[in-house]
Structure 1
């Protein structure tokens, strides 16, 4: 609906008073009100008819199904929904002493505790990496020097800088078959 302020309403009222005249102005406003009421009731009937047609054809059910399926477009929400209570705390005391179920529950509880400790350590490492404090270089770490290669065809000049590749872990033995 248009945003009509007080000044606009006053101008419309004055123009209507001049055009229609003071004698017929109340009749015109009454007719205008009745016509507005009819238009609103027709719009409501149309909306209700469309909703009824959607219910009859099953579109409402399809709409609900699509909204329910929309949660599976988010991988995080989908994983959370599928995992259910798998990641909840495991209480080994719920099971009989000496049973195989209790032994499995104890192993899982220990693994969960270890996982929580690892996550806390990773968060601490990440927080240390993102902090504004400069990290101290370790004694055995040596910065690698870039390699300079002469290249006459290079558009930026005769010398290119090639960064050394990551050598990988130092104490890895080759696999033997």
Structure 2
């Protein structure tokens, strides 16, 4: 409480011996001991009374609830931190499912049956989209080529038609 070391206590004892005297010193230490024990008893009673009041008012329950709320394990923050770490290691341009870092967890992860089915469905859908886009591109190119041919024929036919009307 006062943070006194042995040297400070020795100095205080010597000063007390000189000021009070050797005759009255044991009586003073006895009174000091009684006073200290009375002070400790009062502090203990006060602390017990405060704890009882906290129990009656429900503060102890509220404090334990607050401790539970701030506990990261009970809130599931570990899972959030893991997800954030995976997101930090994720490379958008990479075609692999593995994160950027060398983690044993990512290497040992296996695909479940639902994941494989989803992967196959997505691959099939992507193939269909690519095929449809390629077919539309071919049709557009064919239409453009046909239009260009028709335009070239029309341009070639115009001078011939205008030349025969002049003659």
Query: Normalising to structure 2: TM-score of the pair?
Result: 0.46
Q: Does 1 or 2 have the higher relative contact order (CA < 8 Å, sep 6+)?
A: 1
* Larger CA Rg, structure 1 vs 2: 2
